[in-house]
């Protein structure tokens, strides 16, 4: 049996360090924010190459607070349109709605799964004020082209980097430092995952960083002095401590994911299975490895028969979700084809070479 993702084994590598750090955390008496969170914020900002990092309770809050803070500091206003990929995880769209903005869904490039720049261009109007680029499945969106488009139209460009920790452009910049601001999730299954929920915002904008720092803590930086309408959305101190430990091996883990992806891409030769686009660069960190098949139910039955784990990212496109019925009248044929045919197969930094070869053999005999 090859599980889709063995989180227990992934985290077992750090068990001794986790135990020591947790004991230190218990003895510290500082359980909300404090030095552990500050240390992680500094370390992750340095890692991403940004000036600021603000830890949050989760990735959705991180993204929502970016948009709400831009409204507060006057760079956006309620009702402004934000262009969002139509095939993203629903949280990307929810963040725009929660902030009181208007999401405009745009089809992806079918090869990369990321937002199509040419489709974005078609949707830009006078009401458009921002573009949300989602680095789906761990692959960077075409940020150079999106940046040019954003600058030409005086739009904010924001990253949903929840799946792309450590992805690097050809010009050596990392996810989180490719736009005005970026949101990360540290959900346990992420490439950099904690042992619960967690998130962060990275930016080089001091005004935005200060606003988010207040917003995550009831609108306050001084106890009992509330300057803005805020949330309770702080990164837990013990999660920050665990993340500091795991951050040290993130690049090595991403390298292993890329090694596995190269083997999958060169050795899976079954014509029934369409492999993801990968140019063997560092711009894809393979949060998940997504293949496409015409008969998904048949393929899933085959995987089950051979005790291979899988997930579907994602079975229902956002515009067909009941919660987003406002988009139900719209048609996104590329998005719909993707959601009907994708299957995520095992991808993990702790997979052995034997696991990888077994996967390749099983898929080639499908």
Each residue of 58-90: pLDDT tens digit? 999 999 999 999 999 999 999 999 999 999 999
CATH of the domain at 308: 3.90.1150.10
The verdict on 270 and 356 lying in the same domain is: yes
Short-list 25, 102, 37, 91, CA closest to 62:
91
Determine the average pLDDT of the residues in 116-135. 97
Q: What are phi and psi of 4, to 5 degrees?
A: -60, -45
Range of the domain at 218: 7-106+113-247
Residues 161 and 79 in one domain: yes
Question: How do residues 10-40 score in pLDDT, each as one tens digit?
Answer: 999 999 999 998 898 888 888 889 999 999 9
DSSP, residue by residue, 281-327: STTB--SSEEEE-S-HHHHHHHHHHTTB--B-S-SS-GGGSGGGGGG
Strand 342-345 and strand 289-292: the pairing is: antiparallel
Domain stop point among 194, 215, 247: 247
Mean pLDDT of 329-337: 96
**What pTM value is reported for the model?**
0.96
| % of residues, the chain, pLDDT over 90 | 95
Are 243 and 254 within one domain? no
**Does residue 2 form part of some domain?**
no
Which residues fall within 8 angstroms of residue 170, CB to CB, at 6 or more apart?
281, 283
Query: Are residues 254 and 213 located together in one domain of the fold?
Result: no
Nearest to 157 by CA among 82, 62, 103, 68: 82
| pLDDT tens, residue by residue, 277-290 | 999 999 999 999 99
Q: Which of 210, 229, 247 represents a domain boundary (last residue)?
A: 247
C-alpha to C-alpha distance for 6 and 187, rounded to whole angstroms: 14
Say which residues have a Cβ less than 8 Å from residue 216's Cβ, sequence separation at least 6.
54, 55, 56, 57, 61, 65, 230, 231, 232, 233, 234
């Amino acid at each position: 049996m090859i599980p889709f993702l063995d989180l227990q084994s992934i985290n077992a590598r750090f068990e001794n360090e986790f135990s020591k750090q947790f004991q230190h955390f218990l003895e510290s008496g500082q359980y909300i924010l404090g030095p552990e969170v500050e240390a992680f914020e500094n370390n992750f900002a340095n890692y991403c190459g940004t000036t600021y990092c603000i830890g949050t309770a989760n990735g959705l809050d991180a993204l929502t607070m970016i948009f709400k803070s831009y409204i507060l500091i006057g760079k956006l206003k309620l009702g402004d349109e934000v262009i969002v990929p139509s095939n993203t995880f629903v949280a990307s769209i929810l963040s725009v709605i929660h902030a009181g903005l208007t999401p405009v869904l745009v089809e992806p490039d079918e090869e990369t799964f990321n937002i199509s720049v040419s489709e974005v261009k078609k949707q830009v109007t006078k009401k458009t004020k921002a573009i949300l680029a989602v680095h789906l499945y761990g692959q960077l969106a075409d940020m150079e082209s999106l940046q040019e488009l954003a600058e030409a139209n005086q739009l904010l460009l924001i990253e949903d980097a929840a799946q792309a920790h450590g992805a690097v452009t050809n010009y050596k910049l990392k996810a989180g430092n490719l736009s005005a601001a970026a949101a990360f999730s540290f959900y346990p299954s992420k490439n950099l995952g904690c042992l619960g929920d967690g998130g962060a915002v990275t930016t080089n904008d001091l005004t935005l960083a200060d606003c988010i720092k207040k917003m995550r803590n009831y609108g306050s930086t001084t106890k009992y002095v509330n300057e803005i309408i805020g949330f309770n959305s702080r990164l837990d101190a013990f999660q920050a401590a665990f993340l500091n430990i795991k951050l040290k091996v993130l690049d090595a883990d991403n390298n292993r994911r890329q090694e596995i992806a190269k083997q999958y891409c060169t050795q899976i030769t079954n014509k029934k299975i369409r492999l993801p686009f990968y140019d063997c660069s560092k711009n894809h960190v393979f949060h998940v490895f997504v293949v496409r098949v015409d008969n998904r139910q048949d393929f899933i039955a085959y995987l089950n028969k051979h005790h291979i784990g899988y997930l579907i990212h994602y079975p229902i496109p956002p515009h067909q979700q009941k919660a987003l019925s406002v988009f139900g009248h719209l048609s996104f044929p590329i998005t719909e084809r993707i959601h009907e045919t994708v299957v995520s197969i095992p991808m993990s930094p702790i997979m052995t070479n034997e696991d990888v070869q077994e996967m390749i053999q099983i898929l080639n005999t499908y």
